[in-house]
Chains A and B, each alone.
Chain A
Amino acid sequence: MSPRGKILGLSTSVFFILLVTCLEPGSQGDLGQGRFVYECIDETDSYCNPSSFDWSEPIPEAIATGASFVVEFQRDGLYSATQVFSASPAMLKQQDDGFVALLPGRVAILARENGKVVDFYHLLIEDPTQVKVDLVSDSRVLQEWIQFLDLQPGERVQLRASLLGGSGTLAGAVDCQWIIEDDAVASFEPSSGNRSTELLAVGPGTTECRVIMGTTSARFTLTVASSNEKTDGDAP
């Protein structure tokens, strides 16, 4: 083989190795014997992209206290007959098929096959400190950290809330509720069960809007202009 051919062959091999490595889901365990895959439970998980169909993710940087999530273990790209359990149930409790984070700190999840541990991974659990509300359009952020919002009657906008902590966005599914003080001014659809919602301006006025995610919440002020204001504004 010519030197050029060898280089081409080597480059192709390296490319495929990198491609396979990048395509492997989840995060490698501390012993390198397999991969832990994070699975989004529902639409309230700030770590999960609502527009993505692939909800098998690497282990997030941090998980919120009070949040639920599912972690699976894979060896050689296949889900094995493995039980994943918590090193400390006082910090990370097993619930249904997943876990609930109870206390902040590092806690390991361990994968066990036929009575023997095969690998483990140390997760970080953090207390959430705030909720961020963004104005979005088809998952594209139009405006971050909404504090005030001005709408016209009949106008619809998409909002998305995220749970934040010291490490940034915190993962895990939490109860999520959208509350409006004066429902004659606007309404949320849906008003619970999803961190993404649609806000519909109904009638003129100013009201407080609130989103509660777990034990943390955020507020913003919504003003819906009167029809006259809109007409005046639109007049040449």
Chain B
Amino acid sequence: MIKILEGWYSSKIMTALVLAIVLGSACDHYDRLEICLINTPVGSQVSLEGITIQQGKVAAFKIIPIDNHGDTMEKKTSVSLAVENPEVLGATWLKYSSETCRGPEGANWYFVVYGSLAGETSLQISVNGSKRLEIPVIVFPP
């Protein structure tokens, strides 16, 4: 009887341990964003605090999602951009790979933004479909 109970308890402990490990790894959740600049035109400023770019010019960068342990999130994490007024600023994916920007190889986190028309708008950054940041944008005339 005692042996049966011991076996029952040990299997419960094992299950709890496995659950703790699974849940623990699942707790590596989103914490913040980093930006790694690849190509920014002279006179433009691109950061997570704000973007100032001249009409007609293009800036290329990588958005890196960081988890609560300070590590880059896994490759499958989706990062997307949305512009409040696409007539002012264009934003799209960039097919690129940089060794100087951290993050898993093959992650789809590269983007370009370009000043289409002088004006003001905002750029929203979403991670796994959740809006995480909204950056004010100024496009100044050529």
List A contacts of B95 (CB < 8 A).
33, 113-114, 116-118
CB within 8 A of B116: which of A90, A113, A120? A90
Main secondary structure of the interface of B (DSSP, over half): strand
Q: Does A218 contact B (CB under 8 A)?
A: no
Could you name 5 residue pairs across A and B whose Cβ atoms are closer than 8 Å?
A: A88-B116, A110-B112, A116-B93, A117-B112, A120-B58
Q: Which of B58, B93, B112 has the most CB of A within 10 A?
A: B58
Q: Are B92 and A87 in contact (CB under 8 A)?
A: no
Pick from A105, A116, A117, A122: contact of B55, CB below 8 A: A105
Bound CA span A119–B54, Å: 18
| Inter-chain contact A31/B60, CB cutoff 8 Å | yes
A90 to B105, CA, bound (A): 37
Q: Verify B93–A87 contact, CB threshold 8 A.
A: no
Q: Given contacts A110-B114, A112-B92, A116-B94, is CB(A91)–CB(B142) below 8 Å?
A: yes
Pair A88/B112 contact, Cβ less than 8 Å:
no
Chain A residues numbered 77-96 whose CB sits less than 8 Å from any CB in chain B: 87-92
Q: Looking at the complex, which one of A31, A88, A114, A116 makes contact with B115 (CB distance below 8 Å)?
A: A88
Bits for A101-134, please: 1 = Cβ < 8 Å to B, else 0: 0011111101011111110101000000000000
The residue that B56 contacts in the complex, of A30, A87, A114, with Cβ under 8 A, is: A87
In whole angstroms, how far apart are the Cα atoms of A33 and B95 in the complex?
10
B39 contacts the other chain (Cβ, under 8 Å)?
A: yes
Q: Is B136 an interface residue (CB 8 A)?
A: no
Give Cα A115–Cα B92 distance, bound, in whole angstroms.
Answer: 8
B45-74: which have CB < 8 Å to A? 54-58, 60
Q: Which 4 pairs show the lowest CB-CB distances between chains A and B?
A: A105-B142, A107-B56, A87-B114, A116-B95
B121 → A minimal CB distance (Å): 14
Tell me which of A88, A106, A110 has the highest count of chain B C-beta atoms within 10 A of its own C-beta: A88
Interface size on B, residues (CB 8 A): 21
* Contact with B96, one of A33, A107, A115 (Cβ below 8 angstroms): A33
For residue B110, which residue of chain A has the nearest CB? A116
List, in ascending order, chain A residues with CB within 8 A of B92's CB: 112, 115-117
Total contacting residues, chain A, CB less than 8 A: 25
Alpha-carbon separation in the docked complex, A212 to B4 (Å) = 103
Q: Considering the chains assembled together, what is the distance between the CA atoms of A31 and B110 in angstroms? A: 13
Provide the residues of chain B in CB contact with A107, threshold 8 Å: 55-57, 142
Chain B residue with Cβ nearest A88: B56
Contact status of A87 and B142, CB under 8 A, knowing A31-B39, A113-B95: no
Q: In the bound complex, what is the Cα–Cα distance between A110 and B114 (angstroms)?
A: 10
Q: Which residue of B lies closest to A87 (CB)?
A: B114
**Residue B38 CB within 8 A of the other chain:** yes
Taken residue by residue from 173 to 217, chain A's Cβ proximity to chain B (1 for < 8 Å, 0 otherwise) reads as: 000000000000000000000000000000000000000000000
Residues of B within 8 A of A116 (CB): 92-95
Distance of A229 from chain B, by nearest CB (Å): 55
B99 to chain A, nearest CB (A): 13
Nearest CB of B to A84, in Å: 13
Q: With A88-B117, A103-B142 in contact, is A31–B56 under 8 Å at CB? A: no
- The answer for the CA separation of A89 and B87 in the assembled complex, in Å, is 10
Q: Which of A89, A106, A112 contacts B142 (CB 8 A)?
A: A106
- Using Cβ atoms and an 8 Å threshold, which residues of chain A touch B60? 30-31, 120
